[in-house]
Amino acid sequence: MKIDTSTFKTPPLRTANTPPKAPENSARASEAVSLSQTAAPLMSGEKPPVNAGKIQEIKDAIAQGRFQINPEAIADGLIETARDLVNSQRKA
């Protein structure tokens, strides 16, 4: 699978000593941020639900050598996540 890099632009690198560049529209005194209801439990410190049985099943499969890894599916998922992140940054 060939990755088309023409649609992705890499942001310029910043060193630890370089302050971030202020956005051109930084004249606004304040900006409002709202979080979805999905984010509320994360902000409250609650732990996400965990399926201990499924975790143990996967651990056993790995230990027994029967866990199948699909690198194509992993790569496709990573590419899709990267596209979503790039698209969400373009909209912002």
Of 46, 36, 23, 29, the C-alpha closest to 92 is 23
Q: What is the pLDDT of residues 48-73, one digit of tens each?
A: 788 999 999 999 999 999 999 899 99
Q: What is the pLDDT of residues 28-44, one digit of tens each?
A: 567 888 777 777 777 77
Residue 81 lies in a domain: yes
Supply the pLDDT for residue 48: 72
**For 20-70, where are the alpha helices, taking DSSP H only?**
40-43, 52-64
Handedness of CA 67, 71, 73, 78 (dihedral sign): positive
Q: How far apart are CA 27 and CA 29, in angstroms?
A: 6
* Domain, as residue range, for 59: 50-92
Supply the pLDDT for residue 24: 60
Residue 28 lies in a domain: no
> How many structural domains compose the chain?
1
Confidence category of residue 14, pLDDT binned at 50, 70, 90: low
